[in-house]
């Protein structure tokens, strides 16, 4: 039997899947690393911890592998998007990576609009200037850390840096590059116009490749450290959401994905890159060639639950924390949560908004708070579904992926709030599975990504909307939407008091 490895460099952990030619997951390894949050709005990680933890995970995988090591034929990657990794002339990391959920760059976004113009930016990149994207982070470093910027030779995204450390080869794939806000989306190349207008040296931008491209082999040092064969082929891989789409069979028009990882996303497959969503949703390259997707993002989806767990139930597992949500009725006994712990992207691009619990009552117990958090996250994702539906998309079925699918009540809640059939696939590791599919296709096991995805992915369970719950959630969603309107000004006044 032959195998491939899919590596998903997530925000909470790196998840490594060993997958055989039938799509069976032979091993699943997860190694976590911390977020560095020095101030409100800041979110960073040390790129070396990504590499160290990946190597430890690969060592463990090889240790438990009882086949011929050469039978692990290929590796590919999926990674948290937008994070800025700056390298100097010797390809050494210049500072911690500034991540997708870091919102310190509001001024830089305003500057981009001033210099480029909102309409022109949208027509080049198909996306608005949002704090999470890479370009504003690059401008922030130039303004606040000029000595670091002066030494920068290349910028990379997280999984590109990890891949560089495994292969010695530097490149970025289109699906991740489209999330930098520097890609000319229609031309599929770095935008000279944006670089010129913002005075950015185009040489900082790495060479572009397809997600399916073979970019080399692992280095001698990595082969020695992990025990992997030096003949293991390495394929570029893609943005976690692009890979999540591949790994959840979102490979044709009319298919929709909901992912609850640290962030939450709702994404929909597109065959063209010329539609106009007026920047209300993100519009990026898919990992499949000549394909695209539109996407709405909740910044703190799974993160809202992990924040609550860290603060109020540190020694419990997620499974223990959510074990009682089924005992709490729809609407959490009148408790509402908005998940704006680090600001928000869709539908409100707002870096100063923060989360709320509304309706706290003396009778509420911890389980009410847990259910309210899960409902609030799902309402936020429903805002994206609503944007898609308002633009004429039919959404009857949603494939659900990410850590959030580990809880059955949450999947039913998604069906009830989205008022759509929710499908859970055999692996909840959509992005890691997507990376494995890219490697399997690259190794020549299948003639298309779609054929591979059909062989590898099976439907495990389907959840149908329950009419009574749908009606209750429709009424609650209207109240949920009021909370943003009623709290946005209050939150602006609170900015001065934040850490
Ligand atoms: N048993 C569980 N029930 C419900 N949610 C869970 C469970 N386990 C993990 N989660 C959620 O999944 C999130 C992690 O998802 P994951 O897809 O691994 O994230 P990432 O790719 O961003 O690292 C956690 O923050 C938590 O909210
Ligand atoms: O910023 C985005 C998408 O635009 C996030 O979806 C990141 O890509 C991080 O993903 P997870 O770690 O939550 O999977």
pLDDT, tens digit, 9 for 90 and up, residues 479-493: 999 999 999 999 999
Residue 277: per-residue pLDDT = 85
Class for domain 3-241, per CATH?
alpha beta
Ligand nearest to the CA of residue 349, numbered in listed order: 2
Residues identified as active-site: 240
Give one DSSP letter per residue of 415-479, joined into a string. HHHHTSEEEEES-S-HHHHHHHHHHHHHTTS-SSHHHHHHHH--EEEEE---HHHHHHHHHHHHH
- Give the confidence band of 259 by pLDDT, cuts at 50, 70, 90: very high
Residue 297: CB within 6 Å of ligand 2?
Answer: yes
The string over 312-344, giving b where at least 16 C-beta atoms fall within 10 Å of a residue's C-beta and e elsewhere, is: eeeeeebeebbeebeebebbbbbbbbbbbbbbb
pLDDT, tens digit, 9 for 90 and up, residues 320-357: 999 999 999 999 999 999 999 999 999 999 999 999 99
- Give the confidence band of 427 by pLDDT, cuts at 50, 70, 90: confident
| Percentage of residues in the chain having pLDDT higher than 70 | 100
CA 303 / ligand 1 centre spacing (Å): 8
User: Which atom of ligand 2 is the closest one to the Cα of 301?
Assistant: 13
Please compute the mean of the pLDDT values over residues 274-301 and round it to a whole number. 94
User: Which atom of ligand 1 is the closest one to the Cα of 428?
Assistant: 17
Nearest to 475 by CA among 310, 336, 325, 282: 336
Residue 218: CB within 6 Å of ligand 1?
Answer: no
Task: Give Rg (Cα) of the chain.
Answer: 22
**Cβ proximity of 28 and 17 under 8 Å:** yes
Question: Which residue's CA is the closest to the ligand 1 atom numbered 10?
Answer: 403
Please compute the mean of the pLDDT values over residues 281-303 and round it to a whole number. 96
Please compute the mean of the pLDDT values over residues 465-469 and round it to a whole number. 98
**Cβ proximity of 120 and 184 under 8 Å:** no
Residue 433: CB within 6 Å of ligand 1?
Answer: no
pLDDT, tens digit, 9 for 90 and up, residues 440-465: 999 999 999 999 999 999 999 999 99
Q: What is the mean pLDDT of the chain?
A: 97
CA 69 / ligand 1 centre spacing (Å): 31
Domain boundaries, the chain: 3-241
Q: Provide the annotated binding site for substrate.
A: 81-82
Residue 304: CB within 6 Å of ligand 2?
Answer: no
What is the distance between the alpha carbons of residues 289 and 363, in angstroms, rounded to a whole number? 54
Run of H or E residues at 133? none
pLDDT, tens digit, 9 for 90 and up, residues 93-127: 999 999 999 999 999 999 999 999 999 999 999 99
Ligand nearest to the CA of residue 403, numbered in listed order: 1
Residue 348: per-residue pLDDT = 94
pLDDT, tens digit, 9 for 90 and up, residues 137-188: 999 999 999 999 999 999 999 999 999 999 999 999 999 999 999 999 999 9
What is the distance between the alpha carbons of residues 165 and 163, in angstroms, rounded to a whole number? 5
Ligand nearest to the CA of residue 370, numbered in listed order: 1
CA 449 / ligand 1 centre spacing (Å): 26
Residue 411: CB within 6 Å of ligand 1?
Answer: no
Residue 262: CB within 6 Å of ligand 2?
Answer: yes
CA 58 / ligand 1 centre spacing (Å): 22
What is the distance between the alpha carbons of residues 267 and 131, in angstroms, rounded to a whole number? 20
Question: Which residue's CA is the closest to the ligand 2 atom numbered 10?
Answer: 80
Give one DSSP letter per residue of 88-105, joined into a string. -TT--B-SPEEPTT--TT
Residue 301: CB within 6 Å of ligand 2?
Answer: no
CA 316 / ligand 1 centre spacing (Å): 14
Residue 93: per-residue pLDDT = 98
Structure tokens belonging to residue 35: 């977020």
Complex-level ipTM: 0.97
Mutate to test the pocket of ligand 1, among 50, 302, 428, 433 (most ligand atoms within 8 A of CB): 302
């Amino acid at each position: 039997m032959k195998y491939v490895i899919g590596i998903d460099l997530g925000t909470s952990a790196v998840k490594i899947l060993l997958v055989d030619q039938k799509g069976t997951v032979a091993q699943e390894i997860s190694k976590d690393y911390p977020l560095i949050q020095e101030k409100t709005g800041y979110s960073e990680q040390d790129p070396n911890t990504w590499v160290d933890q990946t190597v430890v995970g690969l060592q463990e995988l090889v240790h438990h592998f009882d086949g011929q090591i050469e039978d692990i034929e290929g590796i590919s990657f999926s990674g948290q998007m937008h994070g800025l990794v700056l390298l100097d002339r010797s390809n050494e990391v210049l500072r911690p990576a500034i991540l997708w959920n870091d919102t310190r760059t509001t001024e830089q976004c305003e500057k981009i609009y001033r210099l480029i113009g909102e309409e022109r930016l949208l027509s080049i990149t198909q996306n608005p200037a949002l704090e999470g994207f890479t370009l504003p982070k690059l401008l922030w470093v130039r303004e606040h850390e000029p000595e670091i910027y002066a030494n920068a030779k290349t910028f990379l995204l997280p999984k590109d840096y990890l891949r560089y450390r495994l292969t010695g080869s530097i490149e970025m794939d289109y699906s991740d590059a489209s999330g930098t806000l520097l890609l000319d989306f229609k031309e599929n190349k770095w935008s000279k116009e944006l670089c010129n207008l913002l005075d950015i040296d185009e040489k900082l931008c790495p060479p572009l490749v397809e997600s399916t491209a073979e970019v080399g082999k692992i280095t001698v040092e990595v082969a020695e450290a992990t025990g992997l064969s030096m003949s293991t082929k390495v394929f570029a891989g893609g943005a976690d959401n692009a890979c999540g789409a591949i790994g959840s069979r979102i490979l044709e028009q009319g298919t929709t994905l909901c992912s609850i990882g640290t962030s939450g996303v709702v994404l929909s497959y597109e065959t063209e890159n010329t539609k106009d969503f007026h920047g209300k949703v993100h519009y990026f390259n898919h990992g499949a060639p000549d394909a695209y997707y539109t996407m709405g993002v909740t910044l703190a989806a799974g993160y809202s639950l992990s924040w609550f767990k860290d603060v109020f139930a540190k020694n419990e597992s997620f499974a223990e924390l959510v074990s009682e949500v089924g005992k709490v009725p729809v609407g959490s006994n009148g408790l509402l949560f908005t998940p704006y712990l680090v600001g928000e992207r869709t539908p409100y691009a707002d870096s100063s908004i923060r989360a709320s619990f509304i309706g706290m009552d003396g009778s509420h117990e911890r389980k009410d708070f847990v259910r309210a958090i899960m409902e609030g996250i799902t309402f936020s994702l429903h805002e994206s579904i609503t944007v898609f539906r308002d633009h004429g998309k039919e959404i009857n079925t949603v494939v659900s992926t990410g850590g959030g699918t580990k809880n059955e009540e949450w999947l039913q809640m998604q069906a009830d709030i989205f008022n759509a059939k929710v499908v859970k696939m055999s692996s909840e590791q959509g992005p890691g599975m997507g990376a494995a599919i890219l490697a399997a296709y690259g190794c020549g096991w299948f003639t298309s990504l779609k054929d591979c995805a059909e062989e590898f992915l099976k439907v495990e369970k389907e959840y149908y909307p329950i009419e009574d719950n749908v009606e209750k959630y429709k009424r609650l969603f209207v109240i949920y939407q009021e909370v943003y309107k009623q709290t946005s000004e209050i939150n602006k006044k609170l900015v001065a008091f934040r850490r």
